[in-house]
Structure 1
Amino acid sequence: MSTTDTDTIPGPRDGATPGASEGEALLEVKDLKMHFPIRQGIVWQRQIGAVKAVDGLDFSVSAGQSLGLVGESGCGKSTTGRLVTRLLEPTGGTIRFDGEDITHKRVSSMRAARQNLQMIFQDPYSSLNPRHTVGTIIETPMRLNGINPEGGHRKRAQELLEIVGLNPEHYNRYPNEFSGGQRQRIGIARALALKPKLIVADEPVSALDVSIQAQVVNLLQDLQREFNLAFVFIAHDLAVVRHFSERVAVMYLGKIVEVADRETLYSRPQHPYTHALLSAVPEADPDSESRRERIRLTGDVPSPINPPSGCRFRTRCWKAQDICASQEPPLVQLVGSAEGHQAACHFPEVKQVVAPEEIPSAPASAE
């Protein structure tokens, strides 16, 4: 059998993939960091600092599972997505995909991994080449990877257009002939072309109208169920994340401050920052909306160049004590909460599972 035969390429139409099975870790990230250097000088440059966009992330995604990454703009969500897909070279940490360490793989060596690791970009307008037809855009990944599907590239591209809800006859049209929602569907079709196991969706609906957002999110859910896809779903809209993701990780200033399954996090948040984010989500019921207590955070988001000592959220937190400035709270399992519910806070709603000597008996008094 030829190495370019479509039967050798695991993917959606092949049913269960031979790598990580349902429930197993398909993607494992440990202590992931991305520090962008700040340099000074024209001829002789020297580094004078770094933007700590991502500063020590730990998370995993199982086969067929969706993990939502949420947080304010600038917290490092999109950078995380680009690190996971190796569009950026990480400063530190490890990325294991399908049992293989891809942290520092060369570009040439990443080609096989990228067949199973694809990305949907945020802006449906700038992510598609305006000089290429829709057919060329979808076919290019297959041609670059030497994949010759049964029936040819054109037939496969038209199949993918139909799968994402577009007319196969649009094969010869150009991106400027489509609306924003239709362009995002083309981007989704391109991501599906190599039959991936995991897709990183970087705010895939933020540039779309509200009515179109629902259609695209529902499409992604249908594709996930049909093809057993895993997702890292990046968004700042908590309502969209709740609808799509099974587990949710909350990011603040380059770190994950809370992670739990969807129902637990939305009904019993433990970190003050998560409380504040959820309080900003409007209620559909007018009576509930009128009774909702909004938590308004004071102050600006600190700079990732020089983040606060200890807990990074302490400068805006109403629970902050002296210990928050001197000790960084670890992301740990919470007692009395659902399995896998972790938070990085010295004063959550429930106590943390740590050694007794690490739990402060009382907040340090201010002098």
Structure 2
Amino acid sequence: MTDLQTPQADAASTATAGAEPLLEAIDLVKHFPVRRGMMASKLMVRAVDHINLSVGRGEALGLVGESGCGKTTTGRMLTRLLEPTGGKLMFDGRDITHLKGSGLRRLRQDIQIIFQDPYASLNPRHTVGKIIATPLRVNGIKPPGGVRGRVQELMELVGLNPEHYNRFPHEFSGGQRQRIGIARSLALRPKLVVADEPVSALDVSIQAQVINLLRNLQRELNLSFVFIAHDLSVVRHFCDRVAVMYLGKVVEVGDRTQIYDTPAHPYTKALLSAVPDVTMLGTKGDNRLKLVGDVPTPLNPPSGCRFRTRCWKAQEVCATTEPPLAQVDTGAVAACHFPESA
């Protein structure tokens, strides 16, 4: 990643300070039943297991962790594309956990999603104009100046040529297709956008452009973001706070400085240690933390702390008692019996 704009100290940086969160997930759970095999009726994939998150107005919350930890499932529950198995979702002071029908359609105007794959998320049979206009037509919204005028305004906002209104997705590059997806997500003027790895499918040279676009849109439109990503450098530049997930659990939440400079949870420390460091090229020795063993199956996660089977700090209490998310001396909150100190 290059040429990323450094976030400024603006309203977004202090969005949650003493204010009611825009979105709050309370003990959120998503279990998927296993439908094949002799024991299928008794097995459940515990994709997300009692997580607690909050997003302030104008804030960007990063959600990080290795593949399979439940990030995308969490994002889809937050947008109500998936029905939670348990827990509660509060948005703007109201319970949206089990909204259906017209209530859910109205919620779509406030919460939108940007999908990971800019190739698969756009209908190849529809023109760009029709794709971006779909949310307006589905919700029966007739903006001043007409639908076409609003769509062209959105295209210009995300850096696309409004004259390309009638082109099809295959006529655009990967970065341009993701801009189309961003324009579609902004059509209804949402308050919150869940960005599910929006740059992971793009060339490195294009990633910074898209991240800077999202950052500018956040400031101009006062958007809140849940930003799901693997690239920790992108999250550090874009997000005000970061939540780290492991095997369906949130193990640490803190601001940029707390997470990146003084990680408290051993898994967070190992995750940051895995980031490539160009200053180490050509040097002898490797001080990276190397985790032993594989990630346990979400069908039967370990008792107590789920990270204990790979943790160098694990003791007997880690197997018998699940650590709660509690504030540690780094200022963050971490779910660990033996957190790192500041």
What is the deviation of 1:296? 1.1
* Partner Cα separation in structure 2 for residue 290 and residue 218 of structure 1: 36
Would the aligned equivalents of 1:282 and 1:289 in 2 still touch at CA under 8 Å?
no
For residue 326 of structure 2, the aligned residue among 324, 332, 335 is 332
Q: Give the alignment's Cα RMSD to 1 decimal.
A: 2.1
Secondary structure in 2 aligned to 1:195? coil
Secondary structure in 1 aligned to 2:305? coil
* Partner Cα separation in structure 1 for residue 282 and residue 303 of structure 2: 38
* Partner Cα separation in structure 2 for residue 202 and residue 239 of structure 1: 16
Would the aligned equivalents of 1:24 and 1:62 in 2 still touch at CA under 8 Å?
yes
Give the partner amino acid of 1:31: D
2:20 corresponds to 1:27: no
Would the aligned equivalents of 2:264 and 2:330 in 1 still touch at CA under 8 Å?
no
What is the deviation of 1:285? 3.8
What is the deviation of 1:264? 1.1
* Partner Cα separation in structure 2 for residue 21 and residue 287 of structure 1: 40
* Partner Cα separation in structure 2 for residue 136 and residue 292 of structure 1: 53
Partner residue, 2:274:
280
Note closer, same or farther for the CA distance 1:300–1:146 as it changes in structure 2 (3 Å cut).
same
Give the partner amino acid of 1:186: I
Secondary structure in 1 aligned to 2:211? helix
Aligned positions, number = 328
Per-residue Cα deviation, 1:102-138 (whole angstroms, up to 9, x for no partner)? 1011133211111010000000001000000000000
* Partner Cα separation in structure 1 for residue 268 and residue 37 of structure 2: 41
What is the deviation of 1:293? 2.0
Per-residue Cα deviation, 1:195-247 (whole angstroms, up to 9, x for no partner)? 00000000001101111111111100000000000000001111111010000
For residue 338 of structure 2, the aligned residue among 343, 347, 359 is 347
Note closer, same or farther for the CA distance 1:282–1:41 as it changes in structure 2 (3 Å cut).
closer
Partner residue, 2:299:
305
Would the aligned equivalents of 2:326 and 2:335 in 1 still touch at CA under 8 Å?
yes
* Partner Cα separation in structure 2 for residue 326 and residue 210 of structure 1: 44
**Equivalent residue runs for 1:134-153 within 5 Å:** 134-153=128-147
Would the aligned equivalents of 1:283 and 1:289 in 2 still touch at CA under 8 Å?
no
Note closer, same or farther for the CA distance 1:164–1:288 as it changes in structure 2 (3 Å cut).
farther
2:269 corresponds to 1:269: no
Partner residue, 2:195:
201
Secondary structure in 1 aligned to 2:336? coil
Stretch of structure 1 that moved more, 125-134 or 289-298: 289-298
2:312 corresponds to 1:318: yes
What is the deviation of 1:46? 6.6
Secondary structure in 1 aligned to 2:243? strand
2:64 corresponds to 1:75: no
Identity of aligned residues (%): 68
Give the partner amino acid of 2:223: L
Note closer, same or farther for the CA distance 1:331–1:130 as it changes in structure 2 (3 Å cut).
same
For structure 2, the residue ranges without an aligned partner over 5 or more in a row are 1-10
* Partner Cα separation in structure 2 for residue 120 and residue 292 of structure 1: 37
What is the deviation of 1:350? 3.7
What is the deviation of 1:40? 4.8
Secondary structure in 2 aligned to 1:60? strand
Secondary structure in 2 aligned to 1:260? strand
* Partner Cα separation in structure 2 for residue 78 and residue 132 of structure 1: 26
Per-residue Cα deviation, 1:243-286 (whole angstroms, up to 9, x for no partner)? 10000000000000000001111000010100001011123545
What is the deviation of 1:349? 1.8
2:103 corresponds to 1:109: yes
Would the aligned equivalents of 1:31 and 1:93 in 2 still touch at CA under 8 Å?
yes
* Partner Cα separation in structure 1 for residue 202 and residue 82 of structure 2: 26
**Equivalent residue runs for 1:56-75 within 5 Å:** 56-75=50-69
Note closer, same or farther for the CA distance 1:289–1:112 as it changes in structure 2 (3 Å cut).
farther
Partner residue, 1:89:
83
Partner residue, 1:220:
214
Note closer, same or farther for the CA distance 1:153–1:292 as it changes in structure 2 (3 Å cut).
farther
2:47 corresponds to 1:53: yes
For structure 1, the residue ranges without an aligned partner over 5 or more in a row are 1-15, 352-367
Secondary structure in 1 aligned to 2:339? coil
Give the partner amino acid of 1:343: A
What is the deviation of 1:55? 0.4
Secondary structure in 2 aligned to 1:172? coil
Per-residue Cα deviation, 1:45-67 (whole angstroms, up to 9, x for no partner)? 97221000000110100000000
Partner residue, 1:188:
182
Larger Rg belongs to: 1
Secondary structure in 1 aligned to 2:33? strand
Secondary structure in 2 aligned to 1:68? strand
Alignment TM-score, normalising by the size of structure 2: 0.92
Secondary structure in 2 aligned to 1:25? coil
Note closer, same or farther for the CA distance 1:161–1:303 as it changes in structure 2 (3 Å cut).
same
Partner residue, 1:37:
33
